[in-house]
Amino acid sequence: MTGCPNSRAQNLTGVWHGLYTYPQGVEGVSFVATLIETTSALTGTTHEPCRVGPGGTLYATVSGSRRDSAVAFMKTYDGSNPFYRTVAYEGTLSSDCTEIEGRWIVPGSWSGRFLMIRPQSKSAMVSRKAHLRA
C-alpha cells in the first residue's frame, strides 16, 4: 500500500481535477473526474470542454483498477462528438494519495501526459499546516 496519510485518502473515491496535454504543444485540456473505488475497481465519470467540433462539454465514463500505486482506466466518451472515442490512462498515485500522474493513449493514434489532483479537505489542510508548524 502507498504511504497515504489517512484511511480516507487511501481510497480514490472523490472529485479529482485534471489536465491532459498533447505531444505537439497544443494547449492542454482541463477536466473533472468523479471516481469511485471499490476494493481495487475504479468507476466514475468525467467532463471537460470540447476542443474539436461544435464546442460545449464532453462527458465520459471511467472504468479501471488500482493496484497499490498503479492506476489504470479507460475513459469512454458518450458518443455525442464523433471525434472522441476511448482513451486509455496509465498512471502512478503519489505517496500522499493526492495526485495521479501518467500517460494517456489513443490506441494506434497518439498519446500524451496527464495529471490529476484531489483537492484536500479543509480538515486535512489544517492538520498538515499544524504538522508543518511543529
Per-residue pLDDT tens listing for the chain (134 residues):
445 655 455 799 999 999 999 887 778 999 999 999 998 899 999 999 988 777 789 999 999 999 999 999 999 999 888 878 899 999 999 999 999 999 999 988 889 999 999 987 554 444 444 444 44
pLDDT at 1: 45
The full set of domain ranges for the chain reads 7-133
Q: Any idea which architecture 7-133 has in CATH?
A: Beta Barrel (2.40)
Residue pair 16/42 in contact (Cβ under 8 Å)? The answer is: no
Residues 3 and 48: their CA atoms lie apart, in Å, by: 30
pLDDT at 63: 98
pLDDT at 86: 94
pLDDT at 55: 75
Residue pair 62/35 in contact (Cβ under 8 Å)? The answer is: yes
Residue pair 44/60 in contact (Cβ under 8 Å)? The answer is: no
Residues 46 and 73: their CA atoms lie apart, in Å, by: 12
pLDDT at 9: 54
* Model confidence, pTM: 0.82
Local structure of 63: helix, strand or coil = strand
Local structure of 53: helix, strand or coil = coil
